[in-house]
Structure 1
Amino acid sequence: MSTLVDLFPPVGLRVQAGPLELRGLSDDLIVELSDLAEQGIHPPDEMPFYFPWTAAPPGELARNTAAYHWGKRSTFSPDDFCLDLAVLLDGRVIGAQGVAARHFPVTRTGETGSWLGREFQGRGLGTAMRRAMCELLFDHLGFEEITSAAFLDNPASLGVSRKIGYQPTTVHRLQRREGELALNQGLVLTPETFVRGAEPVRVTGAEAVRAFIGLDGAPA
């Protein structure tokens, strides 16, 4: 009989980096992550995300978050995927870290994105989880480039990118919320500029994910 990992290998992915663990999103983890999002990610008068998904009315954000992840699971393919992982600290879900890619077997690039529950911010955890994700992508999943972006009024995200070695590219003028202009700084990371941490990163489940994103038979 097939297991969920057989049908959707990202669920079996595990990345251990010191006290942090990144795990593929099982339904139980999706529920925990959705409840955490409902508790708040940023002050109501701020919007760090290009798509303002956290602006949902109270009571709807958890449902919307779960629906988003279920939808991405159902459409996952090597040509268009979002690999999202729950981030856990001492077994407790504290946020999410992911990467989105299109035509990955050819482009070998993707854009990282992440968020932390408000009570876990400002403790260096955002840097640690992004660094662990980048190590997973470069060393185990065949990425040759990783991009990111952050609004100029989001210094915390830009600071994480700077610490890890992302280099600035282009600033784009975007509408963030209705009628609101915001400046979005593009960033790019390569294996040569990547600043690794001192903590060893242990990965399990990556081989099955490599095949799932179109790299079956390609060396790690």
Structure 2
Amino acid sequence: MTTRTATDSLTLDDLWPFAGLHVVSGDVELRYLDDDLLLRLARLAAEGVHAEDAMPFTTPWTRGTPAEVGRSVLTYHWGGRAGALGTDRLRLELGVVRAGEPVGIQGFFGTDVAVTRTVETGSWLGRRHQGRGTGTLMRRMVLHLLFEGLGMVEATTVAFADNGPSNGVTRRLGYEPNGVEILAREGRAVTSNRYRLTREAWEAQTDRPEVTLHGVEPVRELLGL
């Protein structure tokens, strides 16, 4: 006969609260990246994320065969699980699902977040799902999570100057320009635009969508927020 202990009832959500985090707005959800969702998103990335003559990322993980691109997604996020939470750093990536179909990933990261209350966001959307307003909505959803759910005071983001759609979404959502920097991208120097959005500017917006948060309090407790 097997003897049960008090710890037998512990769930993944108990041990790793990020797994219980869920953000919903209409038919769009931000969810924890379990292996099933991650595999589906790796397959989506393998289909293509941007035009061949473009590169919106500092690390060109979207270059290569479909298998190589999909593998890059898996290895990056598997590694990210172990490094998601450190003594001074936070990195969390959430799968974006629309009407039950995985369409991309929305993430955020920062250092000493409990002190600075500031994080930087980043995302990607499968190419066949672009141009439908999903990119704007998923950014609004993560901003709601950050400001309303986790008590951040500022969110930042970056975009290469030649990435028109990303810059457009950022400006449309009320971010202020926050300088530029020159980075190396595929062996060439390129300009990257930096932006910031304060909590006050976010709260002043009157067109924010209705967003429902689930599983936030355990995450706040884990992060000391």
TM bucket normalised to smaller: over 0.9
CA contact (8 A) 1:10 1:25 kept: no
CA RMSD between the two structures = 1.3
- Structure with more of its chain in helix, by fraction: 2
Structure 1 residue ranges without an equivalent (≥5): 216-220
AA aligned opposite 2:126:
G
- Greater shift, 69-78 or 115-124, is seen at 69-78
How much does 1:37 deviate? 0.9
Contact 2:107 2:122 in 1 (8 A): yes
Instruction: State whether residues 152 and 199 of structure 2, in contact with CA within 8 Å, keep that contact through their aligned partners in structure 1.
Output: no
> Does 1:115 find its partner at 2:124?
yes
Residues 141-172 of structure 1 show CA distances to partners (whole Å, capped at 9, x for unaligned) of: 12111000001101100111111111111111
Residue 125 in structure 1 maps to residue 134 in structure 2: yes
What is the CA–CA distance in structure 2 between the aligned matches of 1:107 and 1:193, rounded to whole Å?
18
Does 1:208 find its partner at 2:218?
Answer: yes
Name the structure 1 match of 2:151: 142
How many Å separate the matches in 2 of 1:3 and 1:35? 29
Larger Rg: 2
- Partners of 1:9 and 1:41 lie apart in 2 by 30
Judging changes above 3 Å, is the alpha-carbon distance between structure 1 residues 161 and 196 closer, same or farther for their aligned structure 2 residues?
Answer: farther
User: What SS does the corresponding residue of 2:36 show, helix, strand or coil?
Assistant: helix
Distance 1:58 1:94 in 2: 17
Q: Provide the C-alpha distance between the structure 2 equivalents of 1:56 and 1:144, rounded to a whole number of angstroms.
A: 39
Unaligned runs of 5+ residues in structure 2 are: 1-7
Alignment: residue pair count: 214
Q: What TM-score does the superposition give when structure 2 sets the normalisation length?
A: 0.91
Aligned to 1:218: none
Structure 2 residue matching 1:59: 3-state secondary structure: helix
TM norm structure 1: 0.93
Percent sequence identity over aligned pairs: 45
Give CA deviations for 1:108-147 in whole Å, capped at 9, x if unaligned.
1111001110011111111111001001100011211100
Question: Is 1:14 the counterpart of 2:17 in the alignment?
Answer: no
The answer (yes or no) to whether the contact 1:164–1:196 under 8 Å persists in 2 is no
Residues of 2 paired with 1:75 and 1:171: CA distance?
28
Structure 1 residue runs of 4 or more that deviate by more than 6 Å after TM superposition: none
